Amino acid sequence: MAKTRTQFMCLECGTAHERHMGRCPDCGTFNSLKEHRLAPQPSQPRTIRQSSPPVAVPIEQVDASEGDRIVTGLSEVDRVLGGGLVPGCGLLISGEPGIGKSTLLLQIAQTVSRQGKRFLYVTGEESAAQVRLRSDRIGAAGSELWLHSGCDLGSIEELIDQNQPVVVGIDSIQTICWDQIPAGAGGVTQVREVASRLLAMARNVGFPILMVGHVTKDGTVAGPRTLEHMVDAVLQFEGERGHSLRILRALKNRFGSTEEVGIFEMCADGLKEVDNPSGLLLSSRHGSSPGSATAAILEGTRPLLVEIQALVTPAAHGAPARKPSGIDAGRLSMLAAVLEKRLGIPLGDCDIHANVVGGVKLKGTAADLALAAAILSSFHDRSLPKDVIFAGEVGLLGEVRPVPGTRQRLEEASRLGFHSACVAPGSIDGSGPEGMRIHEIEELQTLAARFIQ
């Protein structure tokens, strides 16, 4: 017989603890734990078979087939997933509010349903009518797209039992509530319990489940963070509000690489897959103005050209300001310090604003050389040649180092009409792409001498 369980729930952060404590170890609030008796409950979701005796088998006898993948039909999503959804898998689509997660899930639901596969779309945030209106606006749904507007986990489990969907989408996991847990929807305990029951059901019945989860910029309102280890894949949807570019990145993927990214543009009628992201990003380039340099970066395995802008002005108030956007603040300070020390330019008396155009966030160090070139260009008020791209890491001594995938970066640049490239010595074997002039830059002094002075 199932036993009655007792938990101590923090009224402040919603976390459940096994024993009583004077202070909640999760949020640090004093005297916030309150005792709750949980109703007796079956220990497993209803669709799970009672556990069988433990077995171990030799590795070669283990069935390693993933089953037939379910292609979503959105090629950028399939690329990130490594070829489609694996039956029984659990997937988290995370991102900041307003970035486009619901739109992405709905578009996946549309393309899956158009293949005649039933997609159960559970919306806990919007009414079914709102979802229908959005769906009509952004594309065509197949007749197998089924909507349920509600937040109750029991009803969702029943609906899945009845309707036997091929794929299930939940928008969002924070809104779904299991009445066996006293804490309100969105609390860490609720989110974890609800997700674990849905994931167990998905695994046993064999349907893939896509769960949307909101994450704030610093990741603190953290339902989804606690889910990351429970699911098979975490797809993070990134972008800047006010910019249309969106990047879907696999932070974790048990069924494929985490190197692939999907690139979309948010348009008035939904998300469009972007074949030529560099073209989109450079479309408004001001290459001939001082302070602009083009960096060749890699997003996953895809080369991407982005415009980096810097504005260097005399410091307005005492301490110099460093204002990066899309660039790591530490990296900007470091480059300014290296430029000051190695080239003797007085950046310590200057404010520096630096920006990546188009809402891309730079990761890694491959754009160092472009950023240094943009800062130099703005400081001296001299434009860089418009058809040159930069790819290289800058060290503390002002030396320029090769970055991985340089040839791919140069080929992308050549495709987009760039005729010269600045890279570290030894970055590529042999010559560069046809018609492209390669400048080998050993250190920042060489860069300044060749392009600025």
Exactly one of 17, 134, 254, 272 binds ligand TYD (CB under 6 A); that residue is 134
Rounded to 10 degrees, what is the CA torsion of 73, 78, 83, 88?
Answer: -90
Nearer to Mg ion, 123 or 294 (CB): 123
- 3-class DSSP state for residue 391? strand
Tokens of 67: 């089953």
Choice between 107 and 406, CB closer to Mg ion? 107
Nearer to Mg ion, 244 or 383 (CB): 244
Q: Which stretch binds Mg ion (CB under 5 A): 46-54, 74-82, 95-103, 289-297?
A: 95-103
Q: Does residue 269 belong to the site contacting ligand TYD (CB under 6 A)?
A: yes
| 266: contact with ligand TYD by CB under 6 A | yes
- Give the whole-angstrom CA distance, residue 131 versus residue 171: 11
Stretch that binds ligand TYD, among 25-33, 84-92, 99-107, 147-155 (CB under 6 A): 99-107
Q: Which residues pair with 242 in a beta bridge?
A: none
Residue 97's binding partner out of ligand TYD, Mg ion, none, with CB under 5 to 8 Å set by partner kind: ligand TYD
What is the rounded distance in angstroms from the CA atom of residue 138 to the CA atom of residue 42? 42
Does residue 94 interact with ligand TYD by CB under 6 A? no
Q: Beta strands of 245-316 (E only): which ranges?
A: 245-253, 261-267, 270-273, 292-299, 302-314
Q: Does 217 bind ligand TYD (CB under 6 A)?
A: no
Largest CA distance in the chain: 84
Closest CA to 416 of 307, 326, 308: 307
Least CB distance to Mg ion at residue 263 (A)? 20
**Single-letter amino acid code for the residue at 303:** P
φ/ψ of residue 162, rounded to 5? -70, -45
According to the binding rule CB under 6 A, does residue 213 interact with ligand TYD?
no
H or E element at residue 155: helix 153-163
Q: CB nearer to ligand TYD: give 195 or 447.
A: 195
Q: CA–CA separation, 123 vs 120, rounded Å?
A: 10
Note the Cα 120 to chain centre separation in Å: 24
From the list 51-59, 263-271, 332-340, 375-383, the region that binds ligand TYD by CB under 6 A is: 263-271
Give which of 207, 211, 231, 227 is closest to 219, Cα–Cα: 227
Closer to ligand TYD at the Cβ: 99 or 376? 99
Could you tell which of Mg ion, ligand TYD, none binds residue 208, using a CB distance below 5 to 8 A set by kind? none
The site map against ligand TYD for 49-68 (x = CB under 6 A) is: --------------------
Min dist. Cβ of residue 317 to ligand TYD (A)? 36
The residue ranges of DSSP E strands in 24-118, in sequence order, are: 33-38, 90-95
* Nearest-approach distance from CB 57 to ligand TYD, in angstroms: 43
Q: Which does 88 bind (CB under 5 to 8 A by kind): ligand TYD, Mg ion, none?
A: none
- Interaction of residue 102 with ligand TYD, rule CB under 6 A: yes
- DSSP letter for each residue of 47-69: TSPPPPPP----GGGS-------
Q: Contacting Mg ion (CB under 5 A), which of 7, 15, 94, 102? A: 102
Instruction: Pick one of 1, 55, 62, 268: the residue that binds ligand TYD (CB under 6 A).
Output: 268
Distance in angstroms (rounded) separating the CA atoms of residues 391 and 401: 9
User: How many residues form the binding site for Mg ion (CB under 5 A)?
Assistant: 1
Q: Which of 86, 138, 147, 173 binds ligand TYD (CB under 6 A)?
A: 138
Q: Does 98 bind ligand TYD (CB under 6 A)?
A: yes
CA distance 450 to 444: 10
The bridge status of strand 302-314 relative to strand 388-391 is: unpaired
CB 207 within 8 A of CB 200: no
Q: According to the binding rule CB under 6 A, does residue 95 interact with ligand TYD? A: yes
Binding flag, residue 406, ligand TYD (CB under 6 A): no
CA distance 73 to 81: 12
Q: Where along the sequence are the contacts to ligand TYD (CB under 6 A)?
A: 95, 97-103, 134, 138, 266, 268-270
Q: Where along the sequence are the contacts to Mg ion (CB under 5 A)?
A: 102
